[in-house]
A and B are shown apart, each in its own frame.
Chain A
Amino acid sequence: MPRPVLAELSVGDVVATGAVELDRARLVRYAGASGDFNPIHWDESFATEVGLPGVIAHGMLTMGSVVGVVTGWAGDPGAVVAYQTRFTKPVPVPVRGAAVVEVTATVGAIDADAGTARIDLTVTHEGAKVLGRSQATVRL
């Protein structure tokens, strides 16, 4: 697949969309892979005791999963030179089934001198934003 060309992009272009399904098994898997064993991500009773609606996804799992639409579009995962987000709302993950997180990637800014595009991610769960100011800077 040819890589995107900076000069052909315009601010506002939607470059990718996708959906990520997060289930309890994925949370356990991410805990092991990342080393983040905070029990709010796997222990229902602990999560409710600290005032959460139940087990929630690691913010870093949501952040790490949704950027896949950007790396897939860019054609090179090493092209993401910066990536930031704000965690605005937790994503509760049910015991059975999965929480679906939807992502839309839009060109937010272009820096022709640096050869980079800022891709803004809109990330929602059940219609509400779960990440804010989510931006990936991609070198093209």
Chain B
Amino acid sequence: MANPDFAGREYPATAPYAVGREKIREFASAVGALDPAHHDIVVARGLGYPDLVAPPTFAVVVAQRAEAQYVQDPEAGIDFSRVVHADEKFVHHRPIVAGDELVTVLHVDSVTERAGIAMVTTRCEVAAPAADGEPEPVATVISSLVVRGEAS
């Protein structure tokens, strides 16, 4: 069962994820996002972006890599064959664009259990390191998973 000791845990920042143009195009095509701002750099720049702009749920690519530190840790006690995705929330402090280098700090906000069903909520704070030191907040991604117990 999900280990309650992980609640409140904060992980060190991940290695940078380099957001590539072709990754944005690939992800946009996979979700059927045909908006030219994901595909055509002239259109993206016309809207004021420095490069191709990512679709609204693109941050999940970065967040799920960070969440793996927790959900794939055997000590966390999360049986992935019993996991159901319950909730997802994105807050964009600014749009993600191609060329971004993103680092993520993963927080385990809560681990609760009731009637043999565990719910875990994680929060990824995604930021772009700046030359002057202080990282620029880019996105917050909150994800809740339900883990069904053996009996249910």
Chain A: residues with CB nearer than 8 A to chain B?
A: 20, 26, 29-30, 32-36, 38, 46, 50, 59-61, 63-65, 67-68, 70-72, 76-78, 80-87, 136
Contacts and interface: CB of A to CB of B under 8 A. Distances in A.
Contacts of B29: 29, 33
B31 A82 contact: no
Interface in B7-65: 23, 26-27, 29-35, 37-38, 47, 49, 53-57, 60-61, 64-65
Contact of B61 (A35, A63, A83): A35
Interface of B: 23, 26-27, 29-35, 37-38, 47, 49, 53-57, 60-61, 64-65, 80-82, 84-92, 95
A54 to B, nearest CB: 15
A62 to B, nearest CB: 9
A67 B84 CA distance: 21
24 contacts: A20-B32, A29-B30, A33-B23, A33-B31, A60-B85, A61-B30, A64-B56, A67-B57, A68-B33, A68-B34, A71-B55, A76-B37, A78-B37, A78-B49, A78-B53, A80-B56, A82-B89, A82-B91, A82-B92, A83-B56, A84-B87, A84-B88, A87-B86, A136-B56
B34 A86 contact: no
B57 A64 contact: yes
A82 B90 contact: yes
Given A29-B30, A71-B35, A77-B56, A63 B88 contact: yes
Contacts of B33: 64, 68, 71, 77
Greatest chain A CB density within 10 A among B29, B31, B86 is at B31
B65 to A, nearest CB: 7
Contacts of B60: 34, 60, 64
Nearest to A31: B30
A84 B95 contact: no
A46 B81 CA distance: 9
A81 B64 contact: no
Nearest to B146: A87
B87 A30 contact: no
A30 B90 contact: no
- The 6 A-B residue pairs with the shortest CB-CB distance, nearest first, are A78-B95, A33-B30, A84-B89, A64-B31, A64-B57, A80-B56
B77 to A, nearest CB: 17
Contact of A36 (B32, B53, B64, B82): B64
B55 A77 contact: yes
B61 A81 contact: no
Given A36-B64, A78-B47, A83-B57, A60 B88 contact: yes
